[in-house]
Amino acid sequence: MRRSDRRHVVGTASGLAAAAIFAVVLSAAPLAGDGASPQGGADTPKAGAQRGAPADPWTAAQTVEPAALAKEISGSDAGRKPTIACVGFRVLYEGGYIPGASYHGPARTDEGLADLKKWADGLPRTTNIVLYCGCCPLTHCPNLRPAFAALRDMGFTHLRAVIMPANFATDWADKGYPVEKGN
């Protein structure tokens, strides 16, 4: 087999593996109206929600764009930096994560939610917490909504979600924002 043929096969296999993971993620994501998705209160924005997408448990004021978070974490005031938690899949976290983020497992699973709640239980309810996943397009993400709802229901008052419309690679890493690797 020629070298170029091997690269094509490897590239195709990688693409197929990524597509398979994405398909599993999408099939696990609850759809709005199926009784499984977290429902926000009266102030939960419905505008911009796509048909069939899960309802967002956060308000617009409880979100942060990647550019704003990158600026916030690079600031010199360490006392004001947020506590960041990744609630996605381990393989994605190991590939690179937002600096300072701790990993708590996919929040779509009971184990991931339990780990997140155990970690958060020892924090003051006024802690500046930022959650992110970035596994797939936000409209289908199975992890961020349950994580946010769980911490909101625990009484956290300074809780935000990073809005990554496509995924972590596109909306964070490819934009040149800082990435850490390793645990």
CB 108 within 8 A of CB 36: no
DSSP for 87-152 reads -S-HHHHHH-B-TTPEE---TTSHHHHHHHHHHHHTS-TT-EEEEE--SS-GGG-SSHHHHHHHHH
CB 60 within 8 A of CB 66: no
Distance CA 119, CA 113 (A): 10
69 belongs to a structural domain: yes
Distance CA 74, CA 99 (A): 9
94 belongs to a structural domain: yes
The angle formed by the CA atoms of residues 109, 156 and 54, to the nearest 5 degrees, is 45
Number of domains in the chain: 1
CB 62 within 8 A of CB 159: yes
- For residue 53, what pLDDT is reported? 62
Sign of CA dihedral 31, 59, 171, 145: negative
155 belongs to a structural domain: yes
43 belongs to a structural domain: yes
The pLDDT-based confidence of 108 (bands split at 50, 70, 90) is very high
180 belongs to a structural domain: no
Distance CA 112, CA 119 (A): 11
24 belongs to a structural domain: yes
pLDDT digits (tens, 9 = 90+) for 27-53: 444 333 333 333 333 343 433 345 566
pTM higher than 0.75 for the full model?
A: no
Could you give phi then psi for residue 49, rounded to 5 degrees? -70, 135
pLDDT digits (tens, 9 = 90+) for 54-79: 789 999 999 999 999 999 998 867 66
10 belongs to a structural domain: yes
Q: What is the CATH number of the domain that holds 57?
A: 3.40.250.10
The pLDDT-based confidence of 80 (bands split at 50, 70, 90) is confident
182 belongs to a structural domain: no
Distance CA 87, CA 53 (A): 19
Residue 180 DSSP SS3: strand
Give the domain extent around 129: 3-175
